[in-house]
Structure 1
């Protein structure tokens, strides 16, 4: 069975990924307990199938020791931990980790960067290149568009509480949103496989929808009419790198031509050949509407 370590326990993805790895859906694929790296195990909530391991992200030898015997390392450390990313990659290479998942889990920025658009996502691209150069046998970058839950945070301009929405341009651009649970299952479905079967770039997408259609879907399921306003123009990509990181992502989502939030191809069938049902945006809206009643 495949042994796994996860770095980063406090973000959006730790619970869905660790939950998938320890679930009955992948029973027998992973050796339990899964190691979860943390600076202070006493501050973590005990979870069945998870062993919290104290590490020092500033000490490569500490991380190397914790990674001995580990086949797969999942890096979920946030963008504020760039130095920790480097330490994890160095330690993984030294410890003999076979598969390393980089801290991507977002938009596919490769065309964007190739076209010379400067964003904070360059740091993620540079790290993936660093990890590959370090000699880790398989380095995997997961691209999933945006977390589906962000749809309800007003990321794309929805303001359901007040019955409004403000969309960039004409609202016809497509965006990809993927449920956190589906991201977790996708990772668990691929991480145990032979290296030759694991892609370097794993693109998964739950729902691909235009902003206008997302408003119509919400209206249909909630019975609430949204007052939609349009900006009429798109935010220019030039100078986007000077904006707040989340604002940068919002601007990138306005531009389908970058393929950042809409993937012309994906690996959905590879990770999920009928193992589970994807949670669509329609499912998520239904749950939200039911909860609100």
Structure 2
């Protein structure tokens, strides 16, 4: 891992965590450089929160490269070819329409040695093509493209849902304002969750692991719990009894049928089906390496108490 140049795409919530922990680990590997690709408008932003992020990244010794992911495959390849590794922290929020595939084509065309695509989420192989969340199909296309070649080594990190997503009112699982918790599918349906900070930490550990992890899917988790366990945790931590309502798969599918374009309803159906959205915590990379991660119980204590 000597003298490796890393390019991270994006510095949102996850990108910042990845950059922070890569910089922390890189001190053990002389010659490692870390660069983040950001729009010029972000690098030079007057927004106080953006300025804080830029100042933090500068203090960590991270380099800045102005660029825009809306560029063509050819233009992106010209940028990527100068780096040993590309780590994509773009997320779906940068828009549908094949961005993840475009980035993967650019990485492969550039001859990048190692690629961590944006796959920080569920197990797309198990979910398969044609799921309720149609944006997942592109993630499978990315996997198939990476598997079809052997020049660029790839690492996919499966993390499950962001832990905080369970508590977002718009997602509807936990709604403290209404004193209600909903089960997606059933109370025995399980979900794997990890915080962005832990994903950043584990990504750095996986990147610097020796021997190098290559052409592999690595499973991580902050926690794997059922919706029933989630309700029990909140009741105990907040010393209150939440009203429990299960949202059956049939109900959620019906709601999606009546509002086919609603992205949140698509996610609810996929998680209610319970396929490819959870895995055994004890078999994760962090459990095997004894790397501590934040459980749902601790997240509730830290954020809701």
After TM superposition, what 4+ stretches of structure 1 lie above 6 angstroms from structure 2? 236-241
Distance 1:130 1:177, change over 3 A: same
Partner of 1:251: 269
Q: Which of residues 47, 50, 54 in structure 1 aligns to 2:66?
A: 54
Note the C-alpha offset of 1:65.
Answer: 3.8
Q: Which of residues 86, 92, 108 in structure 2 aligns to 1:73?
A: 86
The answer to whether the 8 A contact 2:98-2:138 is kept is: no
Partner of 1:5: 7
Instruction: Please state if 1:285 is matched with 2:290.
Output: no
The answer to whether the 8 A contact 1:145-1:205 is kept is: yes
Q: d(CA) in 2 for partners of 1:29 and 1:264?
A: 32
Q: Which of residues 110, 122, 125 in structure 2 aligns to 1:95?
A: 110
The answer to whether the 8 A contact 1:174-1:262 is kept is: yes
Distance 1:85 1:271, change over 3 A: farther
Over the residues paired in the alignment, what is the CA RMSD in angstroms?
3.0
Instruction: Please state if 1:35 is matched with 2:38.
Output: no
Tell me the TM-score normalized by structure 1: 0.83
| Partner SS, residue 197 of structure 1 | coil
In structure 2, runs of 5+ residues without a counterpart are none
Tell me the TM-score normalized by structure 2: 0.80
Partner of 1:213: 229
For residues 145-185 of structure 1, give each alpha carbon's deviation from its aligned partner in whole angstroms, at most 9, with x where no partner exists: 10001122143521113321233444221111112121111
Distance 1:287 1:162, change over 3 A: same
Note the C-alpha offset of 1:271.
Answer: 7.9
Between the two proteins, the alignment pairs up a number of residues equal to 284
Instruction: Please state if 1:177 is matched with 2:193.
Output: yes
For residues 111-131 of structure 1, give each alpha carbon's deviation from its aligned partner in whole angstroms, at most 9, with x where no partner exists: 2216x5463200111123234
The answer to whether the 8 A contact 1:89-1:134 is kept is: no
The answer to whether the 8 A contact 1:55-1:62 is kept is: no
Q: d(CA) in 2 for partners of 1:266 and 1:122?
A: 29
Instruction: Please identify, of 84-93 and 172-181, the stretch whose mean Cα deviation from structure 2 is larger.
Output: 84-93
Q: Which of residues 243, 247, 265 in structure 2 aligns to 1:227?
A: 243
Instruction: Please identify, of 172-181 and 76-85, the stretch whose mean Cα deviation from structure 2 is larger.
Output: 76-85
Q: Which of residues 205, 215, 218 in structure 2 aligns to 1:202?
A: 218
Note the C-alpha offset of 1:74.
Answer: 0.9
Distance 1:266 1:107, change over 3 A: farther
Q: Which of residues 184, 205, 215 in structure 2 aligns to 1:189?
A: 205
Note the C-alpha offset of 1:214.
Answer: 0.7
| Partner SS, residue 277 of structure 1 | coil
Note the C-alpha offset of 1:33.
Answer: 4.6
Q: d(CA) in 2 for partners of 1:273 and 1:106?
A: 20
Note the C-alpha offset of 1:233.
Answer: 5.2
Partner of 1:14: 15
Q: Which of residues 258, 262, 273 in structure 1 aligns to 2:278?
A: 262
Q: d(CA) in 2 for partners of 1:30 and 1:175?
A: 39
Instruction: Please state if 1:142 is matched with 2:142.
Output: no
Q: d(CA) in 1 for partners of 2:99 and 2:245?
A: 42
Distance 1:246 1:76, change over 3 A: farther
Distance 1:31 1:285, change over 3 A: farther
Instruction: Please identify, of 130-139 and 51-60, the stretch whose mean Cα deviation from structure 2 is larger.
Output: 130-139
